Amino acid sequence: MTNSSPYRTLPADGVEAAPSKPYRVALVSTWGAECGIATYSEDLSTWLTDEGVRLSILAPLEPGTCLGRTRADVPATVVWSRQGVDLGPALLAATEGVDIVHFQHEHGLFQNVAALFQALTDLRKAGRKTVVTLHTVHGYGDWQGTGFADNLRKRADCIIVHTPACLAAVSLAQGTAPVVWVPHGTRVTVKPGVREEGLKYMNIPEAAWSGCFGGAFGFINGGKNLLVTVQAFADGLARRLIPRSCGLIICGREALERDYMMSLQSLINATGFTGNIFLRPRFVPRDMVPHIMAAFDFGVLNTTSAVLSASGQVHLHAAYGVPFAAARRPIYDDACAAGGLLFTLDAQSHPTDLGLINALAALGSSESVRRAVKAAVLAYGARTGWNHVAKQHAEIYRRVLQSAPG
């Protein structure tokens, strides 16, 4: 297999050892649910099977599991719980005959850390190899990150991370598991949506359809720093840097905290630009996403997060060629690589200068700026396509199976 991706960090030995049978991999992940990890796993699975991987899904037993889009050729079973103490026995029973157990880890999914570490130990003793993809990483030396990373690296057979900053942090942990940098994947050859369908779905007044629209898409919560985005957009309108024909649409599953939703709507009302700023709290089903992305002339990615991670939103925008502005935060490292317009926030998640307003204004007023950023993000999406990422996973699986027992 030839792989020229700059993200490949496992050493090449120049020998391609084709397996005598397909890799049997059990993916421990949310599935068919309103969850970013589920979306990630579903996208990855689409291409893994093309790489000769016999895939099965081990999903959590909770409301909404496996109710969304699933694949008939990828069996899914609900076998574990987020807080459960019996993760090890449950996975052992469910992985008879499996070669590799691949965890899609996020701290909110595996809330019983002791059970996770015991499961990794039990699986190793039973002869199963384990791979863990870390979707969130704390800096090494941080009280949250050090003990977790050390224990994980001592028990897993391989750890996958999505960004260089994550690679740096986890590589410092004690243990022998290889730490491999593989980018978050991007959907390839997506079918474009219909702008009018997206605007209609989001209930945008038809009289405004001829204007330019920015979009803040995804789960609506305090972590998305939407209050700051709304204020900056309103300031840009007030300064007449953003054309009055330009609108901002906030769309996604609403926050569970009713007070937050009320604060967000109250701020929109207070700006005096309710004809330009639209709050549309609803979970968007997968088949409607192309139409939503087609409705956006540009996107804005803001956050209060300081953890090390990658953003699925960056790759979603890249897939559909939607230019965007993004905060200079670790979770948007991919945005920098993709060529998005970056703006700086302080420790309290407030803009340090006019960068956010300038980015919104440039995207909202200049078609040439949008074209330039669109070209960059499309090129980035091609470099990080799921087809490439799946090949890297297949190579990782091969090397893990060839490695000596831990």
Q: How is 201-244 classified by DSSP, letter by letter?
A: HTT--GGGTTSEEEEEES--SGGGTHHHHHHHHHHHHHTTSS-T
**pLDDT computed for residue 43 by the predictor:** 92
Q: Where are the domains of the chain?
A: 23-185+385-402, 195-383
**pLDDT computed for residue 376 by the predictor:** 96
Give the Å distances, CA to CA, from 122 to 156, 233, 246: 11, 52, 57
Query: How large is the average pLDDT for residues 263-269?
Result: 97
Task: Give me the CATH topology for the region 195-383.
Answer: Rossmann fold (3.40.50)
C-alpha dihedral over 89, 94, 96, 99, to 10 degrees?
Answer: -100
What type of residue sits at position 270?
A
What type of residue sits at position 373?
V
According to DSSP, residue 187 is labeled -
Mean pLDDT of the chain: 91
Percent of the chain with pLDDT over 70: 92
Same fold, 23-185+385-402 and 195-383: yes
Closest CA to 241 of 387, 360, 93: 360
The predicted model scores a pTM of 0.89
**pLDDT computed for residue 168 by the predictor:** 96
pLDDT at 9 over 70: no
The owner of tokens 């574990």 is: 80
**pLDDT computed for residue 263 by the predictor:** 96
Percent of the chain with pLDDT over 90: 81
Q: For residue 68, what are its two tokens?
A: 């969304």
**pLDDT computed for residue 257 by the predictor:** 81
The owner of tokens 């939407």 is: 226
Q: HSE, CB side, 13 Å, CA atoms: give it for residue 66.
A: 17
pLDDT band (50, 70, 90) for residue 71:
low
What type of residue sits at position 312?
G
Query: How large is the average pLDDT for residues 3-28?
Result: 56
Helix (H) or strand (E) holding 368: helix 367-383
Query: How large is the average pLDDT for residues 245-263?
Result: 92
**pLDDT computed for residue 240 by the predictor:** 97
Alpha-carbon dihedral sign for residues 225, 327, 188, 45: negative
Q: For residue 213, what are its two tokens?
A: 């629209």
**Residues 308, 172 contacting (CB under 8 angstroms):** no
φ, ψ for residue 104, nearest 5 deg: -95, 100
pLDDT at 45 over 80: yes
Helix (H) or strand (E) holding 102: strand 100-105
pLDDT band (50, 70, 90) for residue 173:
very high
Tell me the helices (H) and strands (E) count for the chain, helix number first.
14, 15
Per-residue buried b or exposed e for 182-214, using 16+ beta carbons within 10 Å of the residue's own CB: bbbbbbbeeeebebeebbebbebeeeeeeebbb
Bigger pLDDT: 196 or 13?
A: 196
**pLDDT computed for residue 2 by the predictor:** 36
Q: For residue 248, what are its two tokens?
A: 């901002």
**Residues 253, 282 contacting (CB under 8 angstroms):** yes
pLDDT band (50, 70, 90) for residue 15:
very low
**Residues 352, 393 contacting (CB under 8 angstroms):** no
Q: For residue 364, what are its two tokens?
A: 């909202």
Cα separation of 183 and 6, whole Å? 10
Query: How large is the average pLDDT for residues 227-237?
Result: 98
Query: What are the tens digits of pLDDT across the range 316-371?
Result: 999 999 999 999 999 999 888 899 999 999 999 999 999 999 999 999 999 999 99
Q: For residue 288, what are its two tokens?
A: 């409607």
**Residue 360: exposed, middle, or buried by beta-carbon count in 10 A (0-12, 13-18, 19+)?**
buried
Query: What are the tens digits of pLDDT across the range 107-160?
Result: 999 999 999 999 999 999 999 999 999 999 999 987 777 899 999 999 999 999
pLDDT band (50, 70, 90) for residue 404:
confident
CATH 3.40.50.2000 is right for the domain spanning 23-185+385-402: yes
**pLDDT computed for residue 142 by the predictor:** 76
